Amino acid sequence: MTETHPQPSPEGVPGAVTDTSAILADEVTFAGAGADEIRGYLAHPAAAGPHPAMIVIQEAGGLNDHIRDVANRFANIGYIAIAPDLYTREGGPPDMEDMQSVMERLFSMPDERVLGDLEGAAELLRAREDATGKVGCIGFCMGGRYTLLFATARDRLDAAVDCWGGFIDKATPDERSTPARPTPPLELLGQLSCPLMVAIGAEDQNPSPALADQIRERAGASGQEVEVEVYDGASHAFFADYRPSYRPEPAARLWANVVPFLARHLGGPRT
């Protein structure tokens, strides 16, 4: 493994990395579901540990520069962060100009396989000598759905942040359940295994703000700490600084909420 200092973050984004000498990063592989070799991007503080850890789960666009930069931002504040490439078996990200193909890929990916890949990522993090053993997870769009699924169907996390996870109440636009997606994450929230934060854009439709109360009620039954916030002036993917949907003020507020939430439950920094 040849670690290098990554590129700085785009100017002005929440948690921007400006001094890259504080972190190291590299492309890695780890054992996922079925012992398949899964690619990923790992960033960590250059300073000696131990450090808590974070799994950063991609949007539908895959393990792109933005998701790598989000991992860098967590490394910059003291976390070991891995962003798994959940499209490893498909050879990389889909053509985002062909949304029908993108959706077909998403709906065909077996939940159980993704859970196995995320378990592999968590095991890699916990096995590191510079790790505290505490592991959190944050996911965006499709990654938000998988964050909810991982935090309910497994007990490997110490904290979870779902950022506008789509299709959490049904498998596809027309089906509640499919063989690949047998149980909507919303229906599993009563068995939540760790503290949860959920962010939803007030102008989003998938998930819609109407789901916020359902999430609070169902997740609250688990006995875990649950925070659900609807962000005004924001729609889907408002943290994605490379997309037209980016909204600087709600994005900054989200980061300001996420950092202390993770600090409470993972033992990381509060700023």
Q: What is the pLDDT of residue 103?
A: 86
Active site residue 44: no
Q: What is the pLDDT of residue 12?
A: 94
Range of the domain at 236: 20-265
| Rounded Cα gap, residues 135 and 125, in angstroms | 7
- The DSSP output letter for 34 is G
Instruction: Note the pLDDT tens digit of each residue in 75-133.
Output: 999 999 999 999 999 887 777 778 888 888 889 999 999 999 999 999 999 999 999 99
What ranges make up the beta strands (E) of the chain? 23-31, 37-45, 51-57, 80-84, 131-140, 159-163, 196-201, 226-231
Whether residue 134 is contained in a domain is answered as yes
| Rounded Cα gap, residues 227 and 82, in angstroms | 24
Domain total in the chain: 1
Q: What is the pLDDT of residue 191?
A: 97
Q: ∠ CA(99), CA(36), CA(64), 5° rounding?
A: 40
pTM (2 d.p.): 0.96
For residues 32-36, average pLDDT: 94
Whether residue 10 is contained in a domain is answered as no
Q: Is the pLDDT of residue 42 over 90?
A: yes
Phi and psi torsions of 192, nearest 5°: -50, 135
| Rounded Cα gap, residues 141 and 148, in angstroms | 11
Catalytic residue among 44, 66, 236, 265: 236
Active site residue 141: yes
| Rounded Cα gap, residues 68 and 256, in angstroms | 20
Whether residue 2 is contained in a domain is answered as no
Instruction: Note the pLDDT tens digit of each residue in 180-190.
Output: 999 999 999 99
Element (H, E) at 252: helix 248-266
Kindly compute the dihedral angle of the four CA atoms of residues 55, 70, 170, 192, in this order, to the nearest 10 degrees. Answer: 40
Whether residue 163 is contained in a domain is answered as yes
- Helix%, strand%, coil% for the chain, nearest 5: 35, 20, 45
Whether residue 253 is contained in a domain is answered as yes
Whether residue 229 is contained in a domain is answered as yes
Write down the mean pLDDT value for the chain. Answer: 95
Q: Is the pLDDT of residue 243 over 70?
A: yes
Catalytic residue among 162, 204, 241, 265: 204
| Rounded Cα gap, residues 102 and 94, in angstroms | 6
For residues 198-216, average pLDDT: 96
Nearest CA to 32 out of 90, 122, 115, 117 is that of 117
SS3 of residue 161 by DSSP: strand
For residues 59-84, average pLDDT: 96
Q: What confidence category does residue 1 fall into, taking pLDDT thresholds of 50, 70 and 90?
A: low
**Token output for 84:** 């798994």
Q: What is the pLDDT of residue 98?
A: 81
Q: What is the pLDDT of residue 271?
A: 60
Catalytic residue among 141, 162, 163, 265: 141
Instruction: Note the pLDDT tens digit of each residue in 144-175.
Output: 999 999 999 999 999 999 999 999 999 999 99
Whether residue 98 is contained in a domain is answered as yes
Whether residue 94 is contained in a domain is answered as yes
| Rounded Cα gap, residues 208 and 234, in angstroms | 12
Q: Is the pLDDT of residue 270 over 80?
A: no
Q: What is the pLDDT of residue 97?
A: 77
Kindly compute the dihedral angle of the four CA atoms of residues 136, 31, 153, 102, in this order, to the nearest 10 degrees. Answer: 90
Supply the CATH number for residue 49's domain. Answer: 3.40.50.1820
Active site residue 236: yes
